[in-house]
Amino acid sequence: MKPSILFNVFAQDFKKQRKRMVLTLMAILWGTMSIMLLLAYGEGMKDQFSKNLNGLGEGIVILWGGQTSVPFQGYGKGRRIHLHPEDVDYLKGRMPELEIVAAEYIRWGAEIKYKDKLISERINGVYPEYKEIRNFIPEMGGRMINELDMQSRRRVAFLGNEVKNRLFGYDTPDENIIGETIQINSTPYTVIGIMQPKIQMSSYQGSDEDVIAIPATTFHAILGDPYLDNIIFKPAEGFTFEDIESRLFSVMGSKYKFDPNDDQTLHTWDIMEERKVTMDIFQVIQYFLGFVGGLTLIIAAVGVANIMYVSIKERTREIGIKMAIGARRIYILMQFIVEALGITFLGGTLGICSAYLLTELFKMVPIESEVLNFMGRPTVSLEIGITVTVILGILGFFAGLFPAMKAASVNPNEALRYE
């Protein structure tokens, strides 16, 4: 059966039932656009939350000390396990499974002074790896703490963007702040950088935009904290925290003399595990949105089936003539299935194009909103396009199959007598 013949039959039928066809096309268009927009909203929200989760750090694990809960090698239970600066190199040397290892000190309520303004803020003593592992990215013109700062114990400070606003004012350009001197607990520090604004969905010590970072060596020398507050590490490619957790406890246990099976000695927070759970939740949300949009599309497909049944009833005599002069049942079957698919895909194509155009126009609107930064903008992906096309194909096929089966089962003799 030639496709051109089927196309000509479809075009002729479209002309005969123009009003019904247009209404059915509009229903398919609306249903397709609905499911596309709902899936695009879910996709945009999932992508934005994925970016927001990276605000704290991508693929990192936070480690802090705990307390022994069982005796071990003559040591009693209840012994505090503190982390020390040398633990960073200790882990680097003994655990090649770790790609990056960094650490930090934390001091709350430090007095920060600039000219006549005095505020109380959080100070973190950090390592240079903090820039990569915790996404402390400087604005143009500034920089993050480096190895030279660490080695020389320089009194330099990297400011969170909100701390900068509170200390210098919202209208002060960042480039005018670089090189300025601030006082931290009466000790002068030079500002070397301002953090790029970022969305941070989770934290273990407060938002990064509210922190002032100084070199860990400077923090230890001036403020005198004997213990690290946290160690932050990132497993090497190909490893997850589950792969190396037991080895981490074994390595640290051999140094601090605790039972490697005592899970109270060290506490960890696996960001990747939290990310996986969050992304799974959003995947379920996207499935639900697709289901809701799919119901609208199914209703439109029912409309296609109805118009096909009406078309068969009106063309019963025509079908009988075709079968009387030798048309096979497969021809009649294919004719109506192709017509249903044609209506479905024509309306679906218009719906997909409309949804894509709407999402792109929405992206062009310069709306500065905390809600949009948090929730994201609708995004049409290739996966969404393929998914909707497959759904359209299935619905179009079944919308035409049952009417076509009825048409193919017509008795030619009865059809010729049909008025």
Strand 98-114 to strand 181-184: parallel, antiparallel, or no bridges (unpaired)? antiparallel
- Sequence-separated (6 or more) residues with CB below 8 Å from residue 34: 293, 296, 297
Sequence-separated contacts (24+) of 126-132 with Cβ below 8 Å: 126/102, 126/213, 126/214, 126/215, 126/216, 127/88, 127/102, 127/103, 127/216, 128/102, 129/100, 129/101, 129/102, 130/102, 130/104, 130/213, 130/232, 132/100
Q: 170 pLDDT exceeds 60?
A: yes
Return the structure tokens found at 269.
């927070």
Look at residue 13 in the predicted model and tell me its pLDDT: 60
Look at residue 15 in the predicted model and tell me its pLDDT: 61
Q: Which of 53-62, 97-106, 128-137, 212-221 has the lowest mean pLDDT?
A: 53-62
Return the structure tokens found at 319.
């079908």
Look at residue 16 in the predicted model and tell me its pLDDT: 62
Phi, psi of 55 (to 5 degrees): -60, -35
Residue with tokens 């660490």: 150
What span, in angstroms and rounded, lies between the C-alpha atoms of 262 and 66?
10
CB 271 within 8 A of CB 242: no
Q: Which of 106-110, 118-122, 298-302 has the lowest mean pLDDT?
A: 298-302
Residue with tokens 């290892």: 101
Give the pLDDT mean for 208-236.
Answer: 94
Share of the chain above pLDDT 90, in %: 40
Give the pLDDT mean for 318-326.
Answer: 67
Q: Which of 11-25, 228-242, 306-320 has the highest mean pLDDT?
A: 228-242
Look at residue 260 in the predicted model and tell me its pLDDT: 92
CB 176 within 8 A of CB 87: no
Beta strands (DSSP E) in 115-150 are: 117-126
Banded model confidence at residue 327, pLDDT cuts 50, 70, 90: low
Residue 210 DSSP symbol: G
What does pTM read for this prediction?
Answer: 0.72
Give the pLDDT mean for 110-121.
Answer: 93
Q: 416 pLDDT exceeds 60?
A: no
Instruction: Name residue 4's amino acid.
Output: S
pLDDT in tens, 373-408: 666 778 887 788 888 888 888 888 888 787 777 766
The H or E element containing residue 184 is strand 181-184
Look at residue 8 in the predicted model and tell me its pLDDT: 60
Give the pLDDT mean for 299-327.
Answer: 72
Burial class of residue 289 in the structure, from the number of CB atoms within 10 Å of its CB (0-12 exposed, 13-18 middle, 19+ buried): buried
Is 297 or 217 the better-scoring residue by pLDDT?
A: 217
C-alpha distances in angstroms, 73 versus 27, 76, 80, 253, 266?
A: 76, 8, 15, 11, 18
Q: 370 pLDDT exceeds 80?
A: no
Residues in the chain: 419
Residue 75 DSSP symbol: B
Buried residues in 337-365 as b, exposed as e (16+ CB within 10 A) = bbbbbbbbbbbbebbbebbbebbeebeee
Return the structure tokens found at 26.
């509009």
Q: Which of 16-25, 130-139, 182-191, 304-313 has the highest mean pLDDT?
A: 182-191
C-alpha distances in angstroms, 80 versus 84, 153, 266?
A: 13, 29, 10
Task: Tell me how far the alpha carbon of residue 51 is from its chain's centroid.
Answer: 6
What span, in angstroms and rounded, lies between the C-alpha atoms of 20 and 14?
9
Q: Look at residues 195, 231, 190 and name the one whose alpha carbon lies nearest to residue 211.
A: 195
Q: 417 pLDDT exceeds 60?
A: no
What span, in angstroms and rounded, lies between the C-alpha atoms of 298 and 392?
9
Share of the chain above pLDDT 70, in %: 86
Look at residue 388 in the predicted model and tell me its pLDDT: 84
